């Protein structure tokens, strides 16, 4: 077991990961994998399809469960998955504190936490591994894009609206905090024009929230959204109100199919791509290693980061990139 591995996947490493080459042991029986999503938002459904396709390519069945945001349901579904014959589970956390319960519930096959990382890294080990993107970098890319957009404007104050996913989760808090911090780091005074809108990553909730905000005739310069679905809800509310969404920079995240279309149309100012295919390939590769009784990183080449430093040993972070819109 490598104890100080650096954990930034490059695309080539991710492609190689699925091959799982170099393992000469006699393969163990393939037990079904189980995918447990916290909810069925737009990005997670794309991730589900990618996981199922990748697992099928490796000869694995995938049992599927969704907790619809309920932590107790997710723990119960873990037991159901094991009873149905699953060996290794891929779990998308409903809440941060559930990670400890999952650690206690995990069977011999182990668990891959996918897409949502626990804030308490101490629960991770060689049978409980995280695969996902760098959420803080996602947020920074949003803030940096807005800083470039507002560069040279008169005055430094930027009034923003923030649409959040599920507060308390790293992929909400890091995205939110770092987007605002990036604006401050660029010399702007970022001021919330209204309280943060908690919309649980859903388009319809963001649309309803934006309708309420529009009724207040708020003064704002830009709109930050923790994912594309909420950004699309904001855009739909603005269009229903007769407003041109392209006249205000709206940032999304995930590069979903609908988000990419809005980006091309110039309605979405920018998004951040956290490739569902890459995450699925990485997560399934680790899950198969666990299922086959190998070290979780067996056959996976993970290069040193550019500074030569080490991150947490049980965390795989897939690359992210900023995608500007067609403005």
Contact 259, 235 (CB under 8 A): no
Q: How confident is the model at residue 97 (pLDDT cuts 50, 70, 90)?
A: confident
- Is residue 5, in this structure, part of any structural domain at all? no
Please, what is the average pLDDT of the chain?
A: 89
CATH of the domain at 196: 3.40.50.2300
- Is residue 80, in this structure, part of any structural domain at all? yes
- Is residue 264, in this structure, part of any structural domain at all? no
Q: Report residue 108 as tokens.
A: 């011999």
Q: Report residue 164 as tokens.
A: 């959040």
- Is residue 146, in this structure, part of any structural domain at all? yes
Contact 225, 165 (CB under 8 A): no
Question: How far is residue 246's CA from residue 81's CA, in Å, rounded to a whole number?
Answer: 45
Q: How confident is the model at residue 215 (pLDDT cuts 50, 70, 90)?
A: very high
Closest CA to 130 of 6, 21, 282: 282
Same domain, 74 and 32: yes
Question: How far is residue 133's CA from residue 319's CA, in Å, rounded to a whole number?
Answer: 6
Question: How far is residue 290's CA from residue 300's CA, in Å, rounded to a whole number?
Answer: 13
pLDDT tens digits for 31-40?
A: 999 999 999 9
Same domain, 147 and 211: yes
Task: Indicate if the pLDDT at residue 4 is higher than 90.
Answer: no
Q: Report residue 3 as tokens.
A: 């104890």
pTM, to two decimals: 0.88
- Is residue 268, in this structure, part of any structural domain at all? no
Q: What is the mean pLDDT of residues 266-273?
A: 97
Same domain, 150 and 244: yes
Bigger pLDDT: 28 or 207?
Answer: 207
Same domain, 222 and 304: no
Lowest average pLDDT, out of 7-16, 180-189, 197-206, goes to 7-16
Lowest average pLDDT, out of 52-56, 86-90, 302-306, goes to 302-306
With a CB cutoff of 8 Å and minimum separation 6, the contacts of 28 are: 291, 292, 293
Give the CA distances from residue 165 to residues 9, 128, 143, 278, 315, in Å, rounded to whole numbers and listed in that order.
Answer: 25, 24, 17, 22, 22
* Distance in Å from the first CA to the final CA of the chain: 48
Q: What is the mean pLDDT of residues 199-212?
A: 98
- Is residue 261, in this structure, part of any structural domain at all? no
pLDDT tens digits for 54-71?
A: 999 999 999 999 999 999
Contact 255, 318 (CB under 8 A): no
Same domain, 76 and 146: no
Same domain, 88 and 192: no
Same domain, 20 and 118: yes
Q: How confident is the model at residue 313 (pLDDT cuts 50, 70, 90)?
A: confident
- Is 19 strand, coil or helix? coil
* The predicted structure's pLDDT at residue 208: 98
Same domain, 144 and 206: yes
Q: Report residue 296 as tokens.
A: 């979780």
Range of the domain at 249: 136-253
With a CB cutoff of 8 Å and minimum separation 6, the contacts of 299 are: 16, 17, 19, 20, 21, 22, 23, 285, 289
Give the per-residue SS3 of 261-302. Answer: HHHHCCCCCEEEECCHHHHHHHHHHHHHHHHCCCCCCCCCCC
* The predicted structure's pLDDT at residue 23: 44
Task: Indicate if the pLDDT at residue 18 is higher than 70.
Answer: no
Q: What is the mean pLDDT of residues 114-126?
A: 91
Same domain, 120 and 153: no
Same domain, 107 and 51: yes
> How distant is the alpha carbon of residue 108 from its chain centre?
26
Same domain, 60 and 92: yes
* The predicted structure's pLDDT at residue 326: 65
Closest CA to 50 of 98, 10, 18, 82: 18
Closest CA to 300 of 309, 287, 311: 287
- Is residue 324, in this structure, part of any structural domain at all? no
Which residue, of 253, 285, 301, is where some domain finishes? 253
Counting Cβ atoms within 10 Å, is residue 93 exposed (0-12), middle (13-18) or buried (19+)?
buried
Place of tokens 């779990």: 91
> How distant is the alpha carbon of residue 181 from its chain centre?
19
**What stretch of H or E contains 264?**
helix 257-264
* The predicted structure's pLDDT at residue 26: 65
* The predicted structure's pLDDT at residue 302: 52
Same domain, 103 and 128: yes
- Is residue 262, in this structure, part of any structural domain at all? no
Q: How many domains are there within the chain?
A: 2
């Amino acid at each position: 077991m490598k104890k100080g591995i650096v954990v930034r996947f490059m695309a080539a490493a991710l492609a190689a990961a699925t091959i799982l080459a170099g393992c000469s042991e006699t393969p163990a029986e393939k037990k079904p994998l189980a995918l447990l999503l916290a909810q069925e938002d737009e990005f997670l459904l794309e991730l589900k399809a990618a996981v199922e396709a990748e697992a099928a390519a490796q000869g694995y069945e995938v049992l599927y469960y969704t907790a619809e945001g309920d932590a107790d349901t997710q723990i119960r579904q873990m037991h159901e998955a094991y009873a149905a014959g699953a060996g290794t589970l891929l779990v998308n956390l409903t809440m941060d504190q559930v990670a400890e319960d999952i650690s206690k519930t995990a069977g011999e096959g182990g668990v891959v936490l996918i897409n949502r990382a626990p804030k308490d890294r101490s629960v991770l080990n060689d049978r409980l591994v995280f695969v996902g993107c760098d959420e803080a970098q996602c947020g920074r890319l949003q803030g940096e894009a807005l800083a470039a957009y507002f560069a040279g404007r008169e005055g430094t104050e930027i009034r923003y609206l923030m649409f959040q996913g599920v507060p308390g989760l790293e992929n909400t808090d890091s995205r939110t905090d770092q987007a605002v911090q990036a604006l401050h780091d660029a010399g702007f005074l970022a001021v919330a024009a209204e309280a943060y809108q908690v919309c649980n990553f859903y388009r319809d909730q963001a649309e309803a929230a934006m309708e309420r905000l529009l009724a207040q005739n708020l003064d704002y310069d830009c709109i930050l959204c923790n994912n594309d679905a909420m950004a699309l809800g904001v855009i739909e509310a603005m269009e229903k109100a007769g407003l041109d969404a392209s006249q205000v920079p709206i940032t999304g995240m995930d590069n979903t199919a609908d988000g990419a279309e809005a980006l091309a149309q110039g309605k979405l100012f920018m998004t951040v791509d956290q490739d569902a295919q890459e995450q699925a390939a990485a997560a399934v590769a680790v899950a198969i290693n666990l299922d086959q009784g190998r070290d979780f990183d067996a056959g996976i080449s993970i290069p040193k980061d550019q500074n030569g430093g080490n991150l947490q040993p049980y965390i795989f972070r897939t690359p992210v990139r900023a995608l500007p819109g067609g403005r």
